[in-house]
């Protein structure tokens, strides 16, 4: 999902332009205790955390933040894991709890207002289709998605490098397959040029270097200063970090830190702050902690840990209050002008102006059909890339010796053992299977949600780098291999 600014609305959809039109630097009113608590837009890239037990108001808090960023011209990308964020696209105002909260907080002119939303969906069903090329994905992410072992990952890196150096575009899977075949056929030739890839230790280093290079590590965020500001929300973030290795946590921490210096904010939404690695948690400056349960020893540990992360308020017994917070109430600490966390306050979250919860299939269809990009991404294109070029080359060679042209595509003949890639693809497909949630909801798989979420940023080259980085950094370590 993607939203547009208030000002952009006048040009894109005048009917959506409303009276609530803050400018970018206007502080975002997040919550109220005795005082109003604001998130300062210039501190938005210091990231954030929204935590709390199920049903305590995390998604609604996210929605309030998202619509406020959007209204200020900050594009917001979020994975709508439970499809309950789509309400952002509709004016709210008929939810009694939300109205009651608006009244309680004496919010002036509280009117229902929709945020302009664009839906994206990798499968092109719930939104405009999002495609990423093989090369945008990068070998690291692909390697993880395909669950390759280290040796196989190395081969994949070489494929990317050779393709790059030979100007062979890796756009789709057949490009990748053709390249794999081409390199396998010419293994000896490439061995000399790319070092002795079969000698274990040298090969491992080579591969590591290649991995680093082809991920563009040094140039990663080195493009001209980023002129746009983005905010990513990862709802249900506990899924992201499940079973993660410590090294991976560090990688994410690094990524999160790099992104910050480019004006991009990342907000994790999670049930239990303990599910987020400490190194990452330490990077999340703006915090909204909803109620936690304290039934089990693990719960109690989480409560204690959450309490300790705040700058203490002498008037507040944080640990006790944490278990007593009502729905839509939270312990809130935002960063001040100088970037220091403010003293934690018990406060009520400002309600969103857009509709809370899901939308109907017809509403979604209508939004997709009337979007300014309708029709643009719907049809796949297949331009000349590695596959076509290699196929032509093979054809020329074959004709020279009088044999009929042969396709370079290594599709395994039936009955043969499926190729490594085919096997790996099977595994990758499995990673995309949706799962059934604890309350019977149909959730996207982690991989799908992540790809969906990050690929929404793929509409420009910086967005692509970010998408690649986020995916590489987060998915890159799905501890499953360990
Ligand atoms: N700030 C608020 N003001 C008024 N009502 C709220 C507020 N926050 C939450 N609620 C009410 O609580 C309900 C549940 O909130 P929400 O969906 O945000 O919970 P959650 O923490 O995201 O739960 P889950 O972990 O199940 O996703 C909302 O549908 C709404 O009715
Ligand atoms: Mg939620």
Q: Among 57, 326, 438, which is best to mutate for testing ligand 1, by the most ligand atoms less than 8 A from CB?
A: 57
Question: 54 and 27, same structural domain?
Answer: yes
Is residue 166 included in any domain, yes or no? yes
Q: Is 272 in the pocket of ligand 1 (CB under 6 A)?
A: no
Q: What is residue 18's predicted lDDT score, i.e. its pLDDT?
A: 55
Q: Is the pLDDT of residue 448 over 60?
A: no
How much is the pLDDT for 397?
Answer: 62
E strand or H helix at 129: strand 128-129
Cβ(349) to ligand 1 under 6 A? yes
Phi, psi (5° rounding) for residue 352?
-75, 155
CB 1 within 8 A of CB 87: no
Q: Tell me if residue 267 falls in helix, strand or coil.
A: strand
Counted domains in the chain:
2
Neighbours of ion ligand 2 (CB under 5 A): 58-59
92 lines ligand 1 (CB under 6 A): no
- Among all bound ligands, the one having the nearest atom to the CA of 54 is 1
Please choose from 88, 328, 349 the residue to mutate so as to test ligand 1's pocket, defined by most ligand atoms within 8 A of CB: 328
Distance of alpha carbon 402 from alpha carbon 396, whole angstroms: 10
Residue 60 lies in a domain: yes
Calpha distance 70→121 (Å, rounded): 20
Query: Angle between the 173-185 and 187-194 helix axes, to the nearest 10 degrees?
Result: 90
Mean pLDDT estimate for the chain: 72
* Residues 42 and 126 both lie in one domain: yes
| Same domain, yes or no: 293 and 370 | yes
Mean pLDDT of 162-176: 78
Residue 69 lies in a domain: yes
Nearest-CA neighbor of 252 among 18, 96, 478? 478
Calculate how far, in angstroms, residue 162's C-alpha sits from the geometric centre of ligand 2: 44
Give the ligand 1 atom nearest the CA of 63: 18
Is residue 192 packed enough to be buried (19+ CB in 10 Å), middle (13-18) or exposed (0-12)? exposed
Any domain includes 361: yes
The residue-averaged pLDDT of 58-77 equals 91
Q: Contact at 8 Å (CB) between 352 and 99?
A: no
Q: Is residue 136 part of a domain?
A: no
For residue 421, what pLDDT band results from cuts at 50, 70 and 90?
A: very low
Ligand nearest to the CA of 290: 1
In a domain, 482, yes or no: no
- pLDDT at 449 (0 to 100): 46
Are 190 and 98 found together in one domain? no
Q: How far is the CA of 328 from the centre of ligand 2 (A)?
A: 12
d(CA 56, CA 77): 22
Token pair 């149909």: residue: 442
What pLDDT score was predicted for residue 286? 96
Both tokens of 98, joined, read: 């939300």
How far is the CA of 400 from the CAs of 184, 388, 390, 392, 395, in angstroms?
Answer: 22, 18, 15, 12, 9
Tell me how far the alpha carbon of residue 456 lies from the centroid of ligand 1, in angstroms: 25
98 and 87 Cβ atoms separated by less than 8 Å: no
Ligand 1 centre from 141 Cα, in Å?
Answer: 34
- Residue 441 Cβ inside 6 Å of ligand 1? The answer reads no
**Domain assignment present for 137:** no
Is the minimum distance from the CB of 97 to ligand 1 under 6 angstroms?
yes
Query: Which has the closest alpha carbon to 266: 256, 278, 281?
Result: 256
pLDDT score for 398 = 54
Binding site membership of 105 for ligand 1 (Cβ less than 6 Å):
no
Residue 24 Cβ < 6 Å to ligand 1: no
Q: Regarding predicted confidence, which is higher, 73 or 291?
A: 291
Beta pairing, strands 329-333 & 286-289: antiparallel
Q: Does 166 sit in the ligand 1 pocket, CB within 6 Å?
A: no
Residues 320 and 455 grouped into a single domain: yes
Q: Looking at the structure, tell me whether residues 120 and 259 fall in a common domain.
A: yes
pLDDT value at position 243?
62
Nearest-atom index, ligand 1, CA of 54: 25
Residue whose Cα lies nearest atom 28 of ligand 1: it is 57
What is the pLDDT confidence band of residue 432, given thresholds at 50, 70 and 90?
Answer: very low
HSE (side-chain half, CA atoms, 13 Å) at 111:
10
Judged on CB neighbours under 10 Å (0-12, 13-18, 19+), 114 is: buried
Which residue minimizes the CA distance to atom 31 of ligand 1? 97
The domain of 425 spans: 142-220+383-436
Task: State whether 194 and 236 are in the same domain.
Answer: no
Report the C-alpha dihedral over residues 289, 294, 298, 301, rounded to 10 degrees. Answer: 60
Residue 59 CA to ligand 2 center (angstroms) comes to 4
Verify whether ligand 1 is closer than 6 Å to residue 60 (CB atom): yes
Whether 153 and 126 share a structural domain = no
Q: Where do the DSSP E strands lie in 152-211?
A: none
Taking the C-alpha atoms of residue 438 and residue 422, their distance in angstroms, rounded to an integer, is 32
Distance 213 CA to ligand 2 centre (A): 38
Of all residues in the chain, the percent with pLDDT exceeding 90 is 29
Same domain (yes/no): 412, 264: no
Instruction: Tell me the C-alpha distance between 8 and 273, whole Å.
Output: 36
Would 243 be classed as within a structural domain? yes
**Strongest mean pLDDT among 176-185, 357-366, 384-393:** 357-366
Same domain, 177 and 259: no
pLDDT in tens, 399-408: 554 433 333 3
DSSP string, 404-441: PP-----PPPTTSPPPHHHHHHHHHHHHT--EE-TTS-
101 touches 328 (CB < 8 A): yes
The residue among 138, 140, 121 whose CA lies nearest residue 130 is 121
What 3-state DSSP class applies to 251? helix
Q: Cβ contacts of residue 191 below 8 Å, gap of 6+?
A: 197, 198
Instruction: Quickly state the pLDDT bin for 391 (edges 50, 70, 90).
Output: confident
Quick check: 75 pLDDT over 50?
A: yes
CATH number of the domain that residue 98 is part of: 3.40.50
Position 90 scores a pLDDT of 95
Domain shared by 197 and 274, yes or no: no
| For ligand 1, mutation pick of 30, 37, 53, 60 (most atoms within 8 Å of CB) | 60
pLDDT 10s digits, 291-304? 999 999 988 998 99
Closest ligand 1 atom, residue 64 Cα: 1
**For the CA of 271, the nearest ligand:** 1
* DSSP structural state of residue 83: S
Q: State whether the beta carbon of 11 lies less than 6 angstroms from ligand 1.
A: no
Closest residue CA from atom 16 of ligand 1: 57
| Best residue for ligand 1 mutational test, from 97, 100, 272, 292 (most atoms within 8 Å of Cβ) | 97
Burial 5-15 (b: 16+ CB within 10 A, else e): bbebbeebeee
Q: Which residue has the higher pLDDT, 103 or 452?
A: 103
Please say whether the beta carbons of 237 and 52 come within 8 A.
Answer: no
Q: Do residues 334 and 469 share a domain?
A: yes
* Cβ contact 194:186 at 8 Å: no
């Amino acid at each position: 999902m993607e939203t547009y600014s208030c000002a952009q609305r006048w040009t894109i959809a005048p009917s959506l332009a409303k009276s609530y039109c803050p400018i970018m630097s206007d502080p975002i009113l997040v919550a109220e205790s005795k005082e109003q608590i604001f998130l300062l837009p210039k501190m938005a890239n210091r990231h954030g955390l929204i935590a709390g037990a199920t049903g305590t108001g995390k998604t609604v808090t996210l929605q309030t933040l998202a619509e406020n960023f959007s209204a200020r011209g900050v594009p917001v990308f979020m994975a709508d894991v439970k499809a309950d964020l789509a309400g952002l696209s509709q004016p709210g105002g008929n939810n009694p709890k939300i109205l009651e909260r608006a009244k309680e907080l004496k919010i002036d002119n509280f009117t229902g207002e929709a945020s302009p939303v664009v839906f994206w969906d990798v499968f092109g069903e719930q939104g405009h289709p999002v495609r990423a090329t093989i090369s945008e994905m990068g070998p690291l992410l692909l390697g993880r998605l395909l669950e390759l072992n280290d040796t196989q990952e190395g081969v994949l890196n070489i494929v990317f490098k050779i393709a790059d150096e030979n100007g062979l575009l890796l756009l789709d899977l057949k490009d990748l397959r053709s390249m794999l075949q081409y390199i396998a056929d010419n293994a000896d030739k490439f061995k000399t040029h790319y070092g002795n890839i079969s000698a274990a230790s040298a090969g491992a280093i080579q591969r590591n270097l290649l991995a680093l290079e082809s991920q563009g590590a040094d140039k990663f965020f080195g493009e001209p200063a980023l002129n746009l500001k983005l905010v990513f929300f990862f709802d249900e973030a506990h899924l992201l970090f499940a079973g993660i290795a410590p090294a991976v946590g560090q990688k994410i921490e690094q990524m999160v830190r790099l992104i910050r210096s480019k004006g991009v904010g990342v907000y994790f939404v999670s049930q239990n702050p303990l599910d987020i690695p400490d190194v990452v948690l330490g990077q999340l400056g703006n915090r909204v902690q909803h109620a936690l349960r304290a039934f089990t020893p693990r719960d109690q540990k989480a409560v204690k840990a959450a309490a300790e992360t705040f700058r203490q308020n002498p008037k507040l017994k944080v640990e006790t209050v944490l278990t007593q917070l009502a729905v839509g109430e939270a312990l809130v600490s935002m960063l001040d002008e100088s970037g220091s966390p403010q003293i934690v306050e018990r406060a009520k979250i400002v309600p969103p102006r857009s509709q809370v919860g899901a939308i109907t299939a017809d509403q979604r269809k209508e939004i997709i059909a009337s979007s300014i990009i309708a029709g643009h991404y719907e049809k796949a294109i297949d331009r000349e890339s590695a596959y076509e070029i290699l196929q032509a080359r093979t054809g020329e060679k074959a004709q020279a010796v009088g044999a009929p042209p042969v396709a370079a595509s290594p599709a395994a003949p039936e009955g043969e053992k499926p190729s490594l890639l085919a096997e790996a693809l099977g595994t990758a497909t499995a990673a995309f299977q949706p799962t059934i949630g604890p309350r019977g909801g149909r959730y996207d798989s982690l991989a799908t949600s992540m790809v969906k979420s990050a690929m929404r940023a793929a509409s420009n080259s910086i967005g692509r780098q970010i998408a690649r980085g986020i995916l590489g950094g987060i998915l890159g370590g799905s501890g499953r291999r360990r």
